[in-house]
Amino acid sequence: MPPGVDAYVAALERRDGAETARRRIVEGPAHALIFPNLFLGETNVAIVQPVSVEECVHWHTPIFLKGAPQFNSRLLRMSEAGMGPASFLMPDDLIVARRNQAGLQASLAEWIELSRGLNREYVDADGRGVSHVTDETTNRALWRHYRQVMVEA
């Protein structure tokens, strides 16, 4: 565990109680996409800005914890490792996305397959679609919702 985290967690527990502190720190998904274009990725906030059918801009920034500047440097370095054009993750994702985009321009394929994990997807007691982390549950949900709001409009 990075230095200072123990003390920070202890301070949160003193202020809010162990249960609330635990919820604040660990509850919720590591990644969340808020329709249509807000992305919460671990310690980063990102937005997707549409430019054209062929292009969008991905803006991102790390979060800083209020009253805990001791983590700022580490949060910056984590963000630079994962996000951005020179990071260790995003450029590889972007090249794959660029190839996918080229595939989307193909004139012959009429349908895009988004069925991965359909066989094991279920709806939990809170009404959420649940499947394996590698399945296309989120992709299906996004486009289902997109269709709904476009039809309503």
The interface region with another protein, picked from 7-15, 76-84, 114-122, 142-150 by CB under 8 A, is 76-84
Which of 63, 39, 41 is closest to 49 using CA atoms?
Answer: 39
**Alpha-carbon Rg for the chain in angstroms:** 19
Q: Does 102 bind another protein (CB under 8 A)?
A: yes
Q: How far is the CB of 146 from another protein (least distance, A)?
A: 24
* Residue 84 vs 129, nearer CB to another protein: 84
Residue 142: which residues within 8 A CB-CB, separation 6 or more? 33, 35
The interface region with another protein, picked from 17-25, 84-92, 109-117, 119-127 by CB under 8 A, is 84-92
DSSP 24: H
The interface region with another protein, picked from 11-19, 30-38, 54-62, 128-136 by CB under 8 A, is 54-62
Query: Cis (ω within 30 of 0) for the bond into 36?
Result: yes
Q: How far is the CB of 118 from another protein (least distance, A)?
A: 27
Alpha carbons within 13 angstroms on the beta-carbon side of residue 50 total 5
Q: Does 85 bind another protein (CB under 8 A)?
A: yes
Q: Can you point out the beta strands (E) in the chain?
A: 31-34, 38-41, 44-52, 55-62, 122-123, 129-130
Q: Does 143 bind another protein (CB under 8 A)?
A: no
Q: Does 25 bind another protein (CB under 8 A)?
A: no
Q: Does 123 bind another protein (CB under 8 A)?
A: no
Please report, to the nearest 10 degrees, the dihedral formed by the alpha carbons of residues 47, 34, 21, 25 taken in order. -60
Give the interface with another protein as residue ranges (CB under 8 A): 57-59, 61-62, 72-73, 76-77, 79-81, 84-86, 88, 91-92, 94-96, 98-99, 102
